[in-house]
Amino acid sequence: MTSKFAVILAAGQGTRMKSKLYKVLHPVCGKAMVEHVLTQIEQIKMDEIVTVIGHGAELVKERLVNRTDYAYQEEQLGTGHAVLQAEKLLKNKDGLTLIVCGDTPLFTAQTFTELFAYHEQKGAAATVLTAEAPNPFGYGRIVRNNLGIVEKIVEQKDASETEKKISEVNTGVYCFNNRDLFSALHLIKNDNVQGEYYLTDVMEILKKSGKVVAAYKMKNFDESMGVNDRIALAKANKLMRQRINEEHMRNGVTLVDPQTTYIDIDVKIGKDTVIEPGVVLKGETIIGEDCFIGAHSEICDTQIASNVKVTASFLEDAIMEKGSNIGPYSHLRPAAHVGENVHIGNFVEIKKAEIGKNTKVGHLTYVGDATLGEEINVGCGTVFVNYDGINKHHTNVGDYSFIGSGSNLIAPLNIADHAYVAAGSTITNNVDSHDMAIARGRQVNKKGYFDRYPVAKAAEISQKNTNKK
Ligand code: UD1
Ligand code: CA
């Protein structure tokens, strides 16, 4: 088997992005552009993958960790100079080298495989992957002679008027005979408009030295798009989103309106789940089968089992077990664990809390730092008072207990199973099993008070004002 190597170019700042974040780290559907590239390359068996880093090197490394080796490009002197930095790791090796830019997030492993096959079939020293661009502005152009054979690649800024009319562009992906690549790289010069060492010049150098240089034209231009500014970034996101959404629909997920459904690349969704418009599913979210995710819900890094219903709610870093439901307008914060068949109603916030099977938290309630058992009813407007201004404290509520509406449960607190808290209570002491706790002022009714101050007084003033008019 021929050895295969890959080089990812990711050292540029990305000036045209006008961003503090290095270009290749800008996310497309939840994953940095350069990570998309690496993930696709990993689908092919490679003997070595080298990523050339420079601007934001540490941050790129943090993202790609040990999935690749690294070559450091101190000064960004051009794409040719960038590849040369990988020489220490790759030179004197026999095999084929795939080069991909870190700012082309839509390429698929399938296309890379086709490029390798074409390259080998042509017996070429270098094969550039090209595409027919509807608007070629900004891309390097493929100059072919009258026999259709590739002569060279000219950059936009160096192109003559005739060359600018060429619509076949360089996608920035190449396959090289590894030894030919590194010997030619030493010959490139920077005598061009940008004063850079262009990788693209290697094609002409190899051609002139009598080697076979080929071009493989891919059918789908969209897949090759390079992201240089925020307009292209939005477009890449849209194309990736479409690809992701179609994949889910093919797998049996209903997206009521795919145009307005935003699903990150690593999200997993089970069959027969229905996703309504305006839903955003982010990060490592996993959703089971037969779920309903209602309009305008946002779910991030959350695990949802099957038969779960989420209505217009915001979930982050949480878990919902099967048959549970939430919303509208509720919020699961990190480490909220909603048990089987639990009902969480509207305007409820849950943070770092376990809610046992069949328990109901219906309305306007805050549950933080708590463990709730099974079959509990938490009344409307209950507050788990977990914070004393310095520390957070825990509350336990046992199975089958009943928490009356408008209660404040001041942690640390243990409410046993089969216990009862009367509505409107502020509970500071533990409650034992089968007991009821009631902690509120007793009601006093004042006879005839309505006719006295201040209601009567207000009526008097309003009467005076009417008389004045
Ligand atoms: C490049 C190609 C162009 C092609 C286009 C496809 C060259 C000279 N031009 O142009 O023919 O049509 O890609 O998208 O190769 N980089 C480095 N170090 C450097 C310079 C760049 O690592 O010194 C990296 C960048 O981080 C980026 C990639 O190389 O990921 C491409 O650089 P960029 O400046 O975007 O090249 P383009 O102008 O798009
Ligand atoms: Ca680019």
Binding residue numbers: 9-12, 23, 73, 78-79, 103, 140, 155, 170, 228, 333, 351, 366, 377, 386-387, 405, 423, 440
- The residue nearest atom 5 of ligand 1, judged by CA position, is 172
Q: Is the pLDDT of residue 452 over 90?
A: no
pTM of the model: 0.92
Whether 363 is a known active-site residue: answer yes
- C-alpha 229 – ligand 2 centre gap (Å): 9
Tally of CA atoms within 13 A in the half-sphere of 391 that contains its CB: 5
Q: Which residue has the tokens 């006008």?
A: 18
pLDDT for position 94: 97
pLDDT for position 454: 73
Establish whether residue 226 lines the binding site of ligand 1, counting it when its CB lies within 6 angstroms of any ligand atom: yes
How far is 295 from 285, CA to CA, in rounded Å? 17
Q: Which amino acid is at 445?
A: N
Q: Is the pLDDT of residue 141 over 90?
A: yes
Q: Give one DSSP letter per residue of 32-94, joined into a string.
A: EHHHHHHHHHHTS--SEEEEEEBTBHHHHHHHHGGGSEEEE-SS---HHHHHHTTHHHHTT--
Which element (helix H / strand E) includes 33? Answer: helix 33-42
Chain-centre distance for alpha carbon 414:
40
Q: How would residue 157 be classed by pLDDT, with cut points 50, 70 and 90? A: very high
Q: Which residue has the higher pLDDT, 448 or 29?
A: 29
Write the Ramachandran bin of 13: left for phi over 0, alpha for psi from -120 to 50, otherwise beta: alpha
Residue pair 344/327 in contact by the 8 Å Cβ criterion: yes
Q: How would residue 76 be classed by pLDDT, with cut points 50, 70 and 90? A: very high
The first and second tokens of residue 289, run together, are 């089968």
CATH (residue range 250-437): 2.160.10.10
Least confident of 159-168, 192-201, 268-277, 448-457: 448-457
Residues near 42 by beta carbon (within 8 Å), at least 6 away in sequence:
49, 67
Residues near 168 by beta carbon (within 8 Å), at least 6 away in sequence:
130, 131, 132, 133, 136, 141, 142, 144, 215, 217
Tally of CA atoms within 13 A in the half-sphere of 107 that contains its CB: 36
Q: Which residue has the tokens 């094609």?
A: 203
List strand residue ranges (DSSP E) for 356-451, in order. 360-363, 366-372, 377-378, 383-385, 395-397, 402-403, 408-410, 413-415, 420-421, 426-427, 436-437
Q: Which residues surround ligand 2, an ion (CB under 5 A)?
A: 103, 226, 228
Alpha carbon of 117 to those of 127, 170, 199: distances in Å?
Answer: 10, 18, 22
| DSSP, res 66 | G
Segments in 156-312 forming alpha helices (H)? 161-164, 178-185, 201-208, 230-250
pLDDT tens per residue across span 410-427: 999 999 999 999 999 999
Q: Out of 81, 331, 363, 418, which one is annotated catalytic?
A: 363
For the 4-224 domain, the top CATH level (class) is alpha beta
**All structural domains of the chain with their residue ranges:** 4-224, 250-437
Establish whether residue 374 lines the binding site of ligand 1, counting it when its CB lies within 6 angstroms of any ligand atom: no
Q: What is the largest CA-CA distance in the chain?
A: 110
Report phi then psi at 141, rounded to 5.
-100, 145
Establish whether residue 197 lines the binding site of ligand 1, counting it when its CB lies within 6 angstroms of any ligand atom: no
